[in-house]
Amino acid sequence: MFAEVAFPISNFQSFTYVIPKELKNEIQLGSRVLAPFGKRNCQGMVLGIKSTTSYSGKTKSIHSLVDDIPVVTPELWKLICWMSNYYMTPIGQVAKIVFPKNLSTRYKPAKRWYVESSSFVKGDLYLSLEKRAPKQFEIYNIIQSSNYPIKVSSLKEFVSNPLQACRSLERQGFVKLEERMSLPDSSGFSFEPMHKKVVFNEDQEKAVKNIKQSLNKDNFSPILLHGVTGSGKTEIYISAVRHCLSLKRTAIILLPEISLTPQIAGRFKSVFGNSIALWHSRLSKSQRAWTWNQICKGSFQVVIGARSAIFAPLKKLGLIVIDEEQEASFRQDSPAPRYHARDVALVRAKYEGAVAILSSATPSLESYHNYLTKKIHYLHLPKRYGKATYPIVHLVDMLQNQEESGKYDQVISGLLQDKIEERLTNKEQVILLQNRRGFSPVIRCKDCGAISKCPYCNVTTSFHLKTNNIMCHFCGHTETKENKVCYDCGSSHLLYSGTGTQKVESLMKKTYPSASIGRLDIDTSSKGEQLTSILKSFNKGKIDILLGTQMIAKGLDFPNATLVGIINADLGLHLPDFRVGERIFQLIYQASGRSGRRDKQGEVVIQTFSPENPVIKKASTLNMMEYYKIALKEREELNYPPFSWLSKIEISGTNQDKAYNLSKELHHKIKGEYNGLEILGPAPCYIEKLRNQFRFHIVFKSIKTLDPNGKRLHQFLKLNFNDINKRFKVGGNRVNIHIDPLSLI
């Protein structure tokens, strides 16, 4: 017997080896083996087993087996091969992002004691406990009032040695102690488990029934779950996962950025406990390796995480849920493979015969269009759960507002200010969205009028108050405020204008000195613990006003937040990208969805300078269908996705002329054009210079009516650009191919 073995060191190219007799029954597809490669034995993966070989040279023999179980499933390997082909990326590069760096690890998670009460003991023993051991009596009452096991260490505030006290209680038959593994979830990220009594409403019932039926069929089944904000989508995922597990299959839940959705992770943990693995970028290398191995061994049945969790090596995968499927963070843009986890999820579900649920209150136009054209099954939750109703939305015309008040640098309108005061008096909470971090995002020279831009990127730089620095948000380049001068004329007379989250924060502090304010943006939440602690404080009512960038707009569920203020709805509206309208609509709609999620009526104040803009207008009436109709019509007229397939070649280099000449040369050599293909460029990208690289692109659009499954475009790209990196890396220029890019900026 022979095995095809791929080695990470050689870009996963595969080689043929003889399987020694003693390993014949043990080697399987996906096994890790040691085999002679060059002068040493190297670790490789078995990707094929066959009885003959066409290789005529001398075949060496596999040395030994590394693990007792395979570390990749055949379906997952098929997915890696598909990605390599579809995204035109060498297989080694794909495998690199799929597998943890080093699968061998000595790491073992710590263990923690948990305690729960035994069936209720009344009578003398209980009564005498109060007298005999008042401390034990006290903690027993706490343990007994909880419906689920609690961490022994959490009882520290009541007794100095809680484990000893619990042991004593256990001896008397009051409680049960259990040692559990504390799984690597970088604890700061997840909320404490949230236990809830779940009663489905009619719409939920219907959706769940439908999903269960699909799961029972054991076939690939893509579903769009469209549920308005607060309709209870999380409970539906939980019910779907439970059913999936009962069928002895496994599940993956993809969240846009796991550190931003600790509530959902917490909710899942409370239901599925230790059968869940959390998978996200902040796990350490060894935690990753350990988690991967445990998944291979079958210790976890559910993996919940950010985009790369789609590669979890679960066997018998039955369900993939993609929460907030429209989110741009599911797309990896750099490094290659430049993939979209939602699209990869659909392909994986197909290979596994699984159900894929794309879920959102504001689906991507692609998914929505797939529903209109009946390519995806559609489930709708049109109402909020329980008594919660939709918020009342006020649109404020800031231009008119400023003219009337005579204050031209006004950030908060009179209306929003009144509404905030009202909430503070009523002890309700406020969420403010300003989708720009820093203090002043615009720095203008008073002498020549030039706007300060990063010397390495052609974008404006922002002033940060806390660090007293001027910073580029693209490359991180910083200058101190003292030394800052105008790049054009050298003047130090600079005007710091524009509004970032830090400015809003200091304004709020001045206006409402007694209110407690929390700010969430990349600057305050680079550490997971910080982020969770702000969210927890807001949840407990210790923060009155939560202020932040788009990270506060979605997924969060705070019962007492009844006002959402969108300080400048127009941010980004005028960028030249075909998806801009969709993004801003979704942001406003999702942010508004944080308001009034329980019995109290919610309100939203949207401030804009463009009240007539269709995006703002439709978002302010929360009319999704209407906006999607307009947006789809526009896309159709301009041949943008979902009406065409889109790809681009990006050419970049430190020398502007050389990079431009190369893009012209590439363009000139293009062959194999066909009817339905549109080629745009070469042209400078909108952000012409990024991290000291000049950028140009050539864009390809292939109209779907003439190229229904995208095959023609793919063939055309293969013909022209297959090993583009090998051929064009010369002269310091880089050429990258982007299949289905999200943005043309």
- Under the binding rule (CB under 5 A), the answer on residue 477 touching Zn ion is yes
Q: Which of 231, 532, 590, 736 binds ligand ADP (CB under 6 A)?
A: 231
- Choose from Zn ion, ligand ADP, none: what does 204 bind? Cβ within 5-8 Å by kind: ligand ADP
CA angle 119, 125, 130 (to 5 degrees): 105
- Choose from ligand ADP, Zn ion, none: what does 456 bind? Cβ within 5-8 Å by kind: Zn ion
- Under the binding rule (CB under 5 A), the answer on residue 443 touching Zn ion is no
- Choose from Zn ion, ligand ADP, none: what does 87 bind? Cβ within 5-8 Å by kind: none
| CB-based contact 31:67 (threshold 8 Å) | yes
**193 three-state secondary structure:** coil
Q: Which of 233, 288, 331, 464 binds ligand ADP (CB under 6 A)?
A: 233
- Under the binding rule (CB under 6 A), the answer on residue 229 touching ligand ADP is yes
Q: Least distance to ligand ADP from the beta carbon of 362, Å?
A: 11
Which of residues 227 and 565 has its CB atom nearest to ligand ADP in the complex? 227
Q: Which of 9, 181, 199, 399 binds ligand ADP (CB under 6 A)?
A: 199
- Under the binding rule (CB under 5 A), the answer on residue 495 touching Zn ion is no
- Choose from Zn ion, ligand ADP, none: what does 385 bind? Cβ within 5-8 Å by kind: ligand ADP
Which of residues 369 and 689 has its CB atom nearest to Zn ion in the complex? 689
Cα(545)–Cα(416) distance, integer angstroms: 13
Q: Which residues contact 394 (CB under 8 A, 6 or more apart)?
A: 415, 603, 604, 605, 606
Q: Least distance to ligand ADP from the beta carbon of 547, Å?
A: 21
Q: Which of 5, 255, 277, 486 binds Zn ion (CB under 5 A)?
A: 486
- Under the binding rule (CB under 5 A), the answer on residue 9 touching Zn ion is no
- Under the binding rule (CB under 5 A), the answer on residue 80 touching Zn ion is no
Kindly give the pairing relationship between strand 150-151 and strand 302-305: unpaired
Cα(151)–Cα(641) distance, integer angstroms: 50
| CB-based contact 741:648 (threshold 8 Å) | yes
Q: Which residue is nearest to ligand ADP (CB)?
A: 232
Q: Which of 82, 137, 200, 351 binds ligand ADP (CB under 6 A)?
A: 200
Kindly give the pairing relationship between strand 478-480 and strand 494-497: unpaired
Which of residues 475 and 745 has its CB atom nearest to Zn ion in the complex? 475
User: What sign does the CA torsion over 93, 94, 95, 99 have?
Assistant: positive
| Total residues found in the chain within this entry | 745
- Under the binding rule (CB under 6 A), the answer on residue 204 touching ligand ADP is yes
Kindly give the pairing relationship between strand 355-360 and strand 221-227: parallel
Residues 530 to 569: which contact ligand ADP by CB under 6 A?
557
CA angle 194, 389, 360 (to 5 degrees): 60
- Under the binding rule (CB under 5 A), the answer on residue 489 touching Zn ion is yes
| CB-based contact 619:627 (threshold 8 Å) | yes
Residue 261 DSSP label:
-
Q: Which of 70, 100, 149, 232 binds ligand ADP (CB under 6 A)?
A: 232
DSSP alpha helix (H) spans, 73-197 = 74-86, 91-98, 123-132, 134-145, 162-171
Burial class (CB within 10 angstroms; exposed 0-12, middle 13-18, buried 19+) of 199: exposed
- Choose from Zn ion, ligand ADP, none: what does 227 bind? Cβ within 5-8 Å by kind: ligand ADP
- Binding segment for ligand ADP (CB under 6 A), chosen from 88-96, 199-207, 398-406, 604-612, is 199-207
- Under the binding rule (CB under 6 A), the answer on residue 592 touching ligand ADP is no
- Under the binding rule (CB under 6 A), the answer on residue 227 touching ligand ADP is yes
- Under the binding rule (CB under 5 A), the answer on residue 688 touching Zn ion is no
Among 611, 571, 619, 618, residue whose Cα is nearest residue 591 = 619
Residues 447 to 466: which contact Zn ion by CB under 5 A?
447-448, 450, 454, 456-457
Q: Least distance to ligand ADP from the beta carbon of 599, Å?
A: 11
Other Cβ atoms within 10 Å of 274 Cβ, number: 12
- Binding segment for ligand ADP (CB under 6 A), chosen from 32-40, 233-241, 506-514, 714-722, is 233-241
Cα(506)–Cα(295) distance, integer angstroms: 47
Cα(725)–Cα(390) distance, integer angstroms: 51
- Under the binding rule (CB under 6 A), the answer on residue 234 touching ligand ADP is yes
Which of residues 144 and 210 has its CB atom nearest to ligand ADP in the complex? 210
Cα(331)–Cα(334) distance, integer angstroms: 9
Backbone angles phi, psi at 162, to 5 degrees: -65, -30
| CB-based contact 658:732 (threshold 8 Å) | yes
- Choose from Zn ion, ligand ADP, none: what does 231 bind? Cβ within 5-8 Å by kind: ligand ADP
Tokens of residue 38, six digits: 């060059």
Which of residues 167 and 598 has its CB atom nearest to ligand ADP in the complex? 598
Residue type, 723: D
The interface mask with ligand ADP, positions 373-412, x = CB under 6 A, is ------------x---------------------------
What is the rounded radius of gyration, in angstroms, for the C-alpha atoms of the chain? 29
Tokens of residue 391, six digits: 């918020």
Contacts with ligand ADP by CB under 6 A lie at: 196, 198-200, 204, 227, 229-235, 385, 557, 597
Contacts with Zn ion by CB under 5 A lie at: 445, 447-448, 450, 454, 456-457, 472, 474-475, 477, 486, 488-489, 491
